[in-house]
Structure 1
Amino acid sequence: MPFRSPERLLRKLPRWFPSLRGRHAGIVHAPLMNEARMQELRDHAEALPWSLIDFQRLASCPRVGDAPSVFRGQGMEFEENRTYQPGDELRLLNWRLYARTGEMYTRVLQEERRPRVFLLADRRASMRFGTRRQLKATLAAGIASCHAWQARQQALPLGGMILEQSHRWFDPGVGEVALEHLLEGLNSPCEPLALDAIRISLEEALQLLIQRLPHGCFLLMISDFRDLDPHSAAPLLQQLVQRHSIRAIQVLDPVEQRLPHGGDLLFDDPSATVPIRLPARDQAMRQDYADLFSARQAALTDCLTGCGIPLQVCTTTDSVEDSLDVLRSVNDAG
């Protein structure tokens, strides 16, 4: 079945080659990373001399902690002076200001709360793809896990939402049980899925985050953002940015960015009776595809950065450790 539309190819590309499916049929039921690799990444994350988690918004979480919050009350950080009102505690009176002005003022303090770390991890069909080193979902799981381990190290409540054919919500918690449940979900086996399988869209996930997350969370979004429409998603992202500190990490495979040279490529397509045959030796086809990808990538970048969310791009050729190093340089530049 010949393939002549670069746009259709870009839409359907992230799927397993039949040859890869047969070669790796025995490991699709295994976790994405073995215990040794998980321990290696945990040691690396906990030994980093810098934090992956950066709060830039006031928290409204109920748990008392040491981060600035939207609440005023019994904290330690001075917020403002206001005119004395009957019933104010005498210990909060600003006597120095009274000595200068002769008027009574009460010091208003800002309460401190323990903000939450929340991970939005995409494990839908297009993330279960990879032609180099690892699946996109594997790299995403490693990066998300490192954030989770640092959150636990800093005693921050940790929660998450994992997108698959539907979504799995993990309520934030501070214990080992909450951490282990989330890590198990991130690292669970990734069997191939049809791209047209019933699933939750990324925009639906953003709407759930708006509804359920308290203000001031650190939100990591890690996905290929394949189905994110920049125009319809921008209002949702803007609402999230006003409430939370957000980091976006996009995971891609090199084949998604630019088609390889060589002979024909075969792609499995559930909507077709035979595999799609792509004439990869066709230079015009490869160039059209690369141009289309660049245009879509530019639209995504403009959308996220326009909402105040910097975008970091990782590929399946990168290790988790290298991706974290790039993340640090992005943070330093910001």
Structure 2
Amino acid sequence: MAQPKMAPQAQGLDPRLYCEYARLVRLQAQVESFSLLPHLNSGSALSGRHQSLFRGRGLNFEELRHYQIGDDIRHLDWKVTLRTGKPHIRSYTEEKDRNVIICVDQRSGMFFASTQVMKSVVAAELAAMCGWRVLKDGDRVGFVIAGEKALYQSKPERSQYGFLAQLKRLSQENQRLNVHSLNSDKVSFGQWLTLIKRIKLKQSTFVIISDWRDCEEHHLDHLKQLQQHNDVLAVTISDPLEQALPKDLGKMKWVIGDGRHQLNLDSKTKVDVASASLAEKTDKQRQSLTELMAMKRLPHIELDTSGNHIAQFKKQVGRR
């Protein structure tokens, strides 16, 4: 007799620092309150584009053929009919499902927060929620995970077993991060993007969840090309300290670093210069991603590390 499946057990890790597999599994309960398919309220930021955030199920054009008795005259192609003098019908087939690729950043730069929750935890939880929602809608979900040492890809499939395996991989990559983490040269944003493009899917959805800190202008050009035949949704996770430094930081004589370089912030002038540089970079990044999303009338979703990321995401995507 088959034994009932046991829910994964919590490991007792601090949920602000690390994301446990059991937590990612439990997030399945959160997917009823938001939708990535055509059920958005008219007041949603995403309404008006196919009444949906992403390319949903619909009709795909199959062929142009001669009219036959019984065909729906609403599908007559009048231009071809007038040009040839014979009635022609545009026939369609129903689109059965979608491919959704969730690209989630778990590199060393994501192991940061000045408020409540690490950016890496926010990204992992959002990736799990989106995946559960896609499966709930009967579509195919795949992952491209950028870890500290390597990139991992799984093909889109409509399998809960396969999805759980990817959640386990995601939690493992999340828990590898620590204050001493240093990215391998193999996991730059450019190489991550190259792997995403190598999937070569069309009419698909790519959800990219990252802090986008090392995304450069030429990377955005590649994403614009990807956006032409797919839907690319940018989700930015940022921390307040990455956008502006506290004004009295100079008195604390902080030394900050990225594992390779250090900066001594021991005066107000240095703090002001560093803060202005952060604000300029953040504004430029926000503008570039907003323009990328505007190509398909999608919003640029921005989340923070305050611990309210799930509510923020549901509000910006649109509740059911």
TM normalised by structure 2 equals 0.74
Matched, 1:72 2:62: yes
Once the two structures are superposed, residues 5-56 of structure 1 have per-residue CA deviations (whole angstroms, 9 ceiling, x without a partner) of: xxxxxxxxxxxxxxxxxxxxx959x9933466435532122x2154379455
Partner of 1:327: 316
Matched, 1:315 2:294: no
Name the CA shift for 1:234/1:267 in 2 (closer, same or farther; >3 Å).
closer
Partner of 1:290: 275
Q: Secondary structure at the match of 1:129?
A: coil
Partner of 2:154: 170
Once the two structures are superposed, residues 135-172 of structure 1 have per-residue CA deviations (whole angstroms, 9 ceiling, x without a partner) of: 11000111111101101101110001001222100111
Among 142, 145, 148, the alignment partner of 2:131 is: 148
Once the two structures are superposed, residues 186-238 of structure 1 have per-residue CA deviations (whole angstroms, 9 ceiling, x without a partner) of: 222132254453232222322332231311112111101111112x1232011
Q: Is the 8 A contact 2:135 2:141 kept in 1?
A: yes
In the alignment, residue 212 of structure 1 is paired with which amino acid?
I
Q: Secondary structure at the match of 1:220?
A: strand
Q: Distance in 1 between matches of 2:68 and 2:17?
A: 57
Identity of aligned residues (%): 18
In the alignment, residue 289 of structure 2 is paired with which amino acid?
L
Among 116, 121, 128, the alignment partner of 2:99 is: 116
Partner of 2:115: 132
Partner of 2:18: 32
Partner of 1:226: 213
Q: Secondary structure at the match of 1:305?
A: helix
Among 133, 141, 158, the alignment partner of 1:158 is: 141
Q: Which runs of 5+ in 2 are unaligned?
A: 1-11, 39-51
How far residue 95 of structure 1 moved from its aligned partner, in angstroms, is 11
Partner of 1:304: 289
Matched, 1:278 2:260: no
Q: Distance in 1 between matches of 2:236 and 2:253?
A: 28
Q: Is the 8 A contact 2:234 2:293 kept in 1?
A: no
Name the CA shift for 1:34/1:269 in 2 (closer, same or farther; >3 Å).
closer
Count of residue correspondences: 280
Task: Let me know the Cα RMSD of the aligned residues.
Answer: 3.6
Q: Which runs of 5+ in 1 are unaligned?
A: 1-25, 59-65, 74-81
Q: Which moved more, 1:172-181 or 1:185-194?
A: 185-194
For the pair shown, the structure with the greater C-alpha radius of gyration is: 1
Name the CA shift for 1:203/1:197 in 2 (closer, same or farther; >3 Å).
closer
Q: Is the 8 A contact 2:36 2:54 kept in 1?
A: no
Q: Distance in 2 between matches of 1:96 and 1:259?
A: 60
Matched, 1:184 2:171: no
Q: Secondary structure at the match of 1:199?
A: helix
In the alignment, residue 202 of structure 2 is paired with which amino acid?
H
Which residues in structure 2 correspond to 1:205-224 (within 5 Å)? 205-224=192-211
Which residues in structure 2 correspond to 1:248-287 (within 5 Å)? 248-260=234-246, 261-262=248-249, 263-267=252-256, 270-271=259-260, 277-279=264-266, 282-287=267-272
Q: Secondary structure at the match of 1:155?
A: coil
Once the two structures are superposed, residues 42-94 of structure 1 have per-residue CA deviations (whole angstroms, 9 ceiling, x without a partner) of: 2122x215437945558xxxxxxx4333x515xxxxxxxx563xxx8776596
